[in-house]
Amino acid sequence: MRPLAARLAKSGGDMRRNWGNLSAVDLGADIARGKINPVELAEYFLDQIAAHPLGPRIYARTTEGRARAEAMAAAGRAKSGHRRGALDGVPLSWKDNFDTWDAATEAGSALLRNRQPKADAEVLRNATLAGAVCLGKTHMSELAFSGLGLNPITATPPCINDAAAVAGGSSSGAATSVANGLAPAAIGTGTGGSVRVPAAWNDLVGFKADHGSLPMGGVVPLCARFDSIGPLARTVTDCALVWGALAGAPVPDLAGATIAGARLAVLEDVAFDDIRAAPAKGFDDSITRLARAGAHVTRLHFPAMARAMHLAGLIFTPEAYAQWRSAIEAAPDKMFPPILARFRAGGDVTAADYIAAWAELDSILAQWRAAVAGFDAVLLPTSPILPPNAQRLLDDPAFFAAENLLALRNTRIGNLMGGAAITLPTAQPSVGISLMGQGGAHLLRIAFAAERALQ
């Protein structure tokens, strides 16, 4: 690699810009205008990752050779006027549960150490075809089974607002790569909130696509009936751009979106139980801003939600344990004990209880769809708590269990009820407001308008 000073001189000083603070859309636009060379951009981010004191706690591994090759190809397309789209030449980070043919994929677990896939995950192939540059793989909660981001097996990225606190999980490194300026956008996964929680705790936008709307081929699974993929970025526009690339589809049109006249429902049941002061204030302030911008805000009561949350324990953990039982029981000593205990709890659920729980949840889902059919989005606090202290989580298993359940409580509502969900930053640090809805493109338009009202 050429010295940074030489690259600065060649690029005419453009490298002195803090590209780490720009959105993916802005970087792509500057590539299109000839203001940024994709090769220099990739080298900038690789340099930042290598020099950053938190780099090893954020990235499990970088893919320098791949990034440089993809950036050179993007530079050639930009020069010849054949860019593949707005993301062509823009670097992205990838959670370490997306298969990469050129680098190990370990999903934050010693059970998968040195696991080397033979091909890229399907969404990574789609993003590469769109011209995106792969920077590397980010740290995550062990096998994606925690919303806290604490992982003493590999690494625990810290929250951007509190170095002693966790970053949220399971897409912890994905969020912190963007928040620390080490990637313009990141790709994560969510089963019960693993995109939205770390996005909220690190003051980012996090979008959980509709289940099944993005291909899961080559993604290390947790619970196939709930696993989803989503981008973490600084803006809704960035999330829409990345989502389109992952799907291999046109980017949703956000032009003209307005919050004025939007029909929004605040979910009253469950979502505010045991909520702490800062998340409550951030949410209330945001609702006030949305109403002032012309949104019609209604309070929605759905008593069956409490029962749905009870059913979650009978549905998530058995599927996760069934997926991983053989690998876990072959080497349980390789796992962080609280995560091991979460998995093993799935073995205590009987087949009859699992089947009955799904039948009851399907009935509740039908009631939910009827209840929210007239709304553009349902709103709730992304998480009822702030990021907890990492050392206390390590020292106190009971505290870990309680905080993990609370961290994921509200986001799990979105997974249980189906559809897409997105979190937006509020005026309170590490506090997000979530919007849930059916249809990712429509929800992104509502979120885009809400983002402007909140700013």
Pairing of strands 228-233, 185-190: antiparallel
Crossing angle of the two packed helices 64-80 and 38-51, in degrees rounded to 10: 150
Distance of CA 160 to the CA centre of its chain: 15
Q: From the candidates 93, 95, 137, 172, which is the catalytic residue?
A: 95
| Widest Cα–Cα separation across the chain | 68
Q: From the candidates 11, 23, 141, 170, which is the catalytic residue?
A: 170
Is residue 177 part of the annotated active site? The answer reads no
For residue 405 the two structure tokens come to 């359940």
Phi, psi of 249 (to 5 degrees): -135, 165
Q: From the candidates 194, 228, 286, 434, which is the catalytic residue?
A: 194
Q: Based on C-alpha coordinates, what's the Rg of the chain?
A: 21
Is residue 170 part of the annotated active site? The answer reads yes
Contact 310, 353 (CB under 8 A): no
228 preceded by a cis bond (ω within 30 of 0): no
Is residue 10 part of the annotated active site? The answer reads no
Q: What is the C-alpha to C-alpha distance for residues 446 and 455, in angstroms, rounded to an integer?
A: 14
- Residues noted as catalytic: 95, 170, 194
